[in-house]
Amino acid sequence: MRARLSLLAVVVSTLGSLPSVAQQVVQPQFMSGGIQVVVNRAVRPAPGQQLVMSLILVNLWNDDVALVAPELPMIITEGGGVATARQISGIPVSPCGADARRCIQTGSLTPTVIDRGNSITVTLVFSANPNSKACNLDLSMPLVIQRASTSSAWRQIGVGLPNIRVC
């Protein structure tokens, strides 16, 4: 009987130390143009040096989706500070700027294709002010997308993710 009580005490103690669902931070999501964008992680790996954000882009359509970024994403802090990503991986950034469609059509830019029912991870790196205490950020990321298996037109959408928690 004593052994059972000791085991029960260990189980209850362990369960009490696990984070509850209510304690976990829920990050914002965005859905448009057949894709869903979810914040996977947003952290400052070194205090004040940089901010690294991981996004998951999920293809919700029954077709493949091709996409590029016509420009680098931006963040806005709760105090009004602004930063442009200095690095992005997972999707190409257009050297043509807002005219990304022209670069794609001329073959000087190859879009990333997300197969139907699949997802990709996009990583963004921002320089951070060493004295910044911002814990909530808003992300703005333009994308140019097309349903890859059809000859539909390329169109631009603006991904907006408010109140991303980084601390």
Secondary structure (3-state) at 116: coil
Q: What is the pLDDT of residue 2?
A: 45
* Domains in the chain with CATH codes: 25-165 (2.60.40.1470)
At 48 the pLDDT is: 63
pLDDT of residue 148: 76
Rounded to an integer, what distance in angstroms lies between the CA atom of residue 32 and that of residue 77? Answer: 24
Burial degree of 9 (CB within 10 A; 0-12, 13-18, 19+): exposed
* pLDDT for position 73: 97
- The pLDDT tens digits along the chain (167 residues) read 444 444 334 333 433 444 433 345 689 899 998 899 999 999 887 766 789 999 999 999 888 999 999 999 999 988 888 999 999 999 999 998 878 888 888 889 999 999 999 999 999 999 887 777 788 999 999 999 998 766 778 889 999 999 999 88
What DSSP character marks residue 8? H
Q: Supply the pTM of this predicted model.
A: 0.80
- Where are the extended beta strands (E) located within the chain? 29-32, 35-43, 50-59, 65-68, 74-77, 82-84, 87-89, 112-114, 119-127, 136-147, 155-165
Per-residue pLDDT at 133: 78
Residue type at position 156: Q
